[in-house]
Amino acid sequence: MGELKKWGLWAIAAYLLFGLCIYYYLFVFANSSVPDIYKETSADPATFLNSRELVLSEEYSKIRDLLFFLSTPYEWLLYLFILIFGVSTVFEKWANQASRFQFVRNAVYLFWLSLLTFVLMFPIRYLSYHFSKTYHISAQEFGGWMKDNVIDFWVNYLIMLVLVTILYALMKQFPKKWWLASWILFVPFTFFLMYVQPVWIDPLYNHFYPMKDKQLESKILSLADKAHIPANHVYEVDMSEKTHALNAYVTGVGSHSRIVLWDTTLQKLNDNEILFIMAHEMCHYVEKHIYFGIAGYLLLAFVGFWITAKWMARWIDRHGQKLHIQSISQLRTLPLFLLIISILVFASSPISNLASRYEETRADRYAIEMTKNKEAAIESFQELTKSGLSQVNPPLLVKIFRYTHPTMLERIHMVETYPIKQK
């Protein structure tokens, strides 16, 4: 136990040191000012934000980025402590005492693990909500925010219960190749989840309905027809009771694919700006970005499962006796599995974000070519920046680990300099 306590102390010390370094990087070292070459252009936030908004966007962005970089290693710390201090072993004993049926045991164990991590992660989630409310990004009252968190808990719990039950059954059946069998079943599960998400999961949080403005919907559908996209409806979602930010996205696969607009976007942008955003989203459909994204995700998952299997086996060989772990298929190893997966997801995020930024750049260019309206594109980007208090030119580490879209500086400059081909 003495050695385990040393692990815990070293982990806490490393986390505190990391936190200090990130704070220094974001609040002291990093420079998010606009280069001189972009000054007084439409990409310069000083041309479309007032002095107060400029200050608030810098403050809020730094706080939000700090919470992001602190939350992920904090999650690792929780999993490590649950593992090395025997909490996971206690949860498995409770589960074994609850029933002789393995599925029920899985359910009991996962409930306690999920509840503990939910409670311990709650302070960081609440801080994120608090600051988004303070800076007038969130419009949601605490009760509504808690309701969404409870829904999140149960949705994630049920999905994890299915995955954990299958995963640990495969570990028992295939002790050496469980990672490969798990990935093979993970492929159809991913497609199934993306297929049902727009129909079963998303409506748990918000109300989706066909666009109310039929005249604007007709313009959007005409644009879809021009892009050879079979579409009968554009969906609207009531996000104004939760946020002041703007968004639009493509979700689902197959016949359940749909383009969704937040009602805040409809309230704050004019028709031409909305048509540009819709053309951008249509590119994701036309160029099959969703399917390329799934393929990349599954490729990373294949590598991730393999690495996780190797690391888990090595960890148990070296430290299994100290942690009272005899086999990888024991439920008490789940925090180790989640710890390694979380580390790999974070480590691979620069790659996935880079691919996403490439696709988003393609979508911006496609939208300009389709709408031939640079002014609408620039104004929509400016309003997105203003409503979300986003940095136009974020620090490099923030861009690498957080940005799935190009920075607004890059997007606006690209629009300004893009040579539109006239027919």
Q: 88, 108 in Cβ contact below 8 A? A: no
**Annotation says 59 is catalytic:** no
Q: Long-range pairs for 130-138 at CB < 8 Å and ≥24 separation?
A: 131/60, 131/63, 131/64, 131/67, 132/64, 132/243, 135/56, 135/59, 135/60, 135/389, 136/244, 137/60, 137/243, 137/244, 137/245, 137/388, 137/389, 138/242, 138/243, 138/244
The sheet that has 248-251: what strands, in order across it?
A: 208-210, 235-237, 258-262, 248-251
**Annotation says 410 is catalytic:** no
Residue 256 marked as a ligand binder: no
Residue 130 marked as a ligand binder: no
138 DSSP 8-state letter = B
Separation between Cα atoms, residue 257 and residue 274, nearest integer Å: 19
Separation between Cα atoms, residue 345 and residue 171, nearest integer Å: 22
Strand partners, 262: 237
Strand partners, 249: 260
Question: Tokens 């893009």, residue?
Answer: 418
Pairing label, strands 235-237, 258-262: parallel
Separation between Cα atoms, residue 313 and residue 307, nearest integer Å: 10
Contacts of 121 (CB under 8 A, 6+ apart): 71, 74, 75, 78
Instruction: Show the tokens assigned to 93.
Output: 């004993």
Query: Which listed residue (281, 359, 379, 410) is catalytic?
Result: 281
Instruction: Show the tokens assigned to 252.
Output: 């689902």
Backbone torsions φ then ψ of 9, nearest 5 degrees? -65, -40
Separation between Cα atoms, residue 285 and residue 223, nearest integer Å: 13
Separation between Cα atoms, residue 315 and residue 295, nearest integer Å: 30
Rounded CA Rg of the chain: 24
Separation between Cα atoms, residue 320 and residue 328, nearest integer Å: 9
Query: Which listed residue (75, 202, 263, 364) is catalytic?
Result: 364
Residue 379 marked as a ligand binder: no
Residues in the annotated binding site: 280, 284, 360
Query: Active-site residue numbers?
Result: 281, 364
Residue list for the binding site for Zn(2+) = 280, 284, 360
